[in-house]
Amino acid sequence: MSLKGSAYAVLPGPEGLLPPSASVMGVVLPEEGEGLLEGRIVSEDESMEAAAIALLTRKNPTLFPGPLMIWGWTEHTREKSSPFFEIAHEIPGVRIIPMPDYRPIYPKIDPEAVINPCHPNLTIWHNKIEACILVGLHCHFANVTLKMIRAGTNCYTIALCAEAGHEDAMASVPNVGAEKLYKFAEALRRVKRNGVKPLYQGHGIIPSGWAQQAHLTGADIERPQEEVHVGHGLSHELERGLDENEE
């Protein structure tokens, strides 16, 4: 049996409490030049374009930069900042909500300012995020975060990973450095040129964190009168929830 032929589809959830990890279900990691798309190995370009379409057409697209992106540990991390913001400026209505480190945040978090690997679902729920990129997280925390997001939310997850990629993301590309981030920004431009109409119009990044506290603006976004829900997003039985009126 070819492992690359796994039938398990990694789709937006909610998958329910404790979903199986995609790797256990036979999903394998991509090689250089390849990407993952909903559990299947595809070409890097195909994975990037699918991710780009999700970011442009699903509600409240958000970038979650991790410590390896936010903090300038090395020249390698610092050089990724420019293409990161290039990606952000290609996505109308985008937010940037960081994961500056991994320590637990109790008794409460500010879900408009931060995402935490202990409870990433809170940030997704609060902001009604339906598409996100995780970039610059250490892989073991990215794995936990991705699984929790898939378990409890209908968010389309994209993992741009500097290492081997992530099976639990709906779309993932391995070995992502500055060059591939620029390539992803180009993929966003390409799908727009090819006719994909972004859900939101306008430009700029919606303030979060300190910028929000300081009432900084910088985003000029036009939201549709009634936000279009693109795709049903929910893939499994739990999407319907329990019928409270059922006898």
Partner 1 sequence: MSLATVRVSPGFEQYLPQEYYDLVKDSQFVSPRKVSEMGSFKELIEEHPMCAGCAMTLFIRTMYVALPSPENTVFVGTAGCGRLVLSQGAVPFIYGNYGDTNAVASGLKRGLGIRFADKPKDVIVAAGDGGLADIGFSMVMHSWFRKEKFTTVMLDNEVYGNTGGQESGMTQKGMVLKMAPNGKKFEKMDMIGLAKTAGVAYIARVVPTNPNRVAATIQKAVLIAREIGPTFVQAYTSCNIEYAIPTPKVMDDAREVENARYQFTEYFSDDAKEYWDNIVVEKRKIKGSATVE
Under the rule (CB under 8 A), what is the footprint of partner 1?
Answer: 65, 69-73, 77-78, 80-82, 84-85, 96-98, 100-101, 103-108, 110, 113-114, 207-211, 213-214, 216
Query: CB-wise, 37 or 114, nearer to partner 1?
Result: 114
Minimum CB separation of residue 231 from partner 1 in Å reads: 28
Minimum CB separation of residue 123 from partner 1 in Å reads: 11
Task: Write out the two tokens for 138.
Answer: 């250490």
The CA distances from residue 125 to 40, 131, 188, 213, in Å, are 27, 12, 25, 21
Query: CB-wise, 208 or 235, nearer to partner 1?
Result: 208
Minimum CB separation of residue 121 from partner 1 in Å reads: 18
Task: Write out the two tokens for 68.
Answer: 């390896």
Query: CB-wise, 108 or 240, nearer to partner 1?
Result: 108
Query: CB-wise, 18 or 214, nearer to partner 1?
Result: 214
Q: Is 150 left (phi over 0), alpha (psi -120 to 50) or beta?
A: alpha
Q: Is 109 left (phi over 0), alpha (psi -120 to 50) or beta?
A: beta
* Residue reference for tokens 């009604």: 128
Task: Write out the two tokens for 186.
Answer: 């180009």
Query: CB-wise, 216 or 228, nearer to partner 1?
Result: 216
- Alpha-carbon span 168 to 150, nearest angstrom: 8
Type and span of the H or E element at 11: none
243 contacts: CB under 8 Å, gap ≥ 6: none
Minimum CB separation of residue 186 from partner 1 in Å reads: 19
* Cross-sheet strand order for the sheet of 34-37: 40-43, 34-37, 171-173, 156-160, 131-135, 62-65, 94-96, 205-206
Query: CB-wise, 95 or 150, nearer to partner 1?
Result: 95
Minimum CB separation of residue 192 from partner 1 in Å reads: 23
Minimum CB separation of residue 67 from partner 1 in Å reads: 9
